Structure 1
Amino acid sequence: MEYDKGIKNRLKRIEGQVRGVLGMLEEGQDCREIVTQLTAIRTAVDRTVGAVIGANLEQCIQDELEQGNSPDKVIKEAVEMLVKSR
């Protein structure tokens, strides 16, 4: 599966946020500010997980339908992955 630029950009942004938090730790910044940034990172990761699963789900459903199969199993697996990610 090939991923679009949007997903890659999300991950680069998250990478930058993590580097920023490391800098904050090294500078000894306030705990509340650090936790706020970590919460933003977690939210960004959760949204990226959803985007990756969504992109794959769409392709997997199309593949199943082209093969004459029901996409039920693929949908169930996607839901399980989303639940596990939390």
Structure 2
Amino acid sequence: MQCDPKMLNRLRRAEGQIRGILRMMDKHAECKDVTTQLLAVRSSIDKVLALIAVQNLKDQVTQKTASQIMEDPEIQAALKLVMKTR
């Protein structure tokens, strides 16, 4: 899989957010503030997951004809992956 630099940047930002959350927890920050940051991280990761799943599906579909698309187990698996990402 080739990684888009935008995806890597999103993941690096999420990594930084998680480090920040850990610091907040060490300093006994308010629960609602920690929860807000956790939701932001989850949203960021969900976006990366969706981008990866969609790219996977696009890669699978561009290599097939219309009739092959519906019968191909790899494409069906890619579709299921997209559906799991919300």
- TM-score normalised per structure 1: 0.82
Query: What is the match of residue 62 of structure 1?
Result: 62
Is residue 7 of structure 2 the alignment partner of residue 7 of structure 1?
A: yes
Deviations 1:26-83 (A, max 9, x none): 1111000000000111111111110111111111111224xx8622341x32332234
Q: Give the unaligned 5+ runs of structure 1.
A: none
SS at match of 1:3: coil
- TM-score normalised per structure 2: 0.82
Matches within 5 A, 1:1-86: 1-65=1-65, 70-72=68-70, 73=72, 74=75, 76-85=76-85
Residues in 1 aligned to 2:27 and 2:9: alpha-carbon distance in whole angstroms: 27
Q: Give the unaligned 5+ runs of structure 2.
A: none
Residues in 1 aligned to 2:26 and 2:62: alpha-carbon distance in whole angstroms: 48
Using the aligned pairs only, state the percent identity: 30
Aligned length: 83
Residues in 2 aligned to 1:28 and 1:40: alpha-carbon distance in whole angstroms: 19
Q: CA deviation at 1:14?
A: 0.7
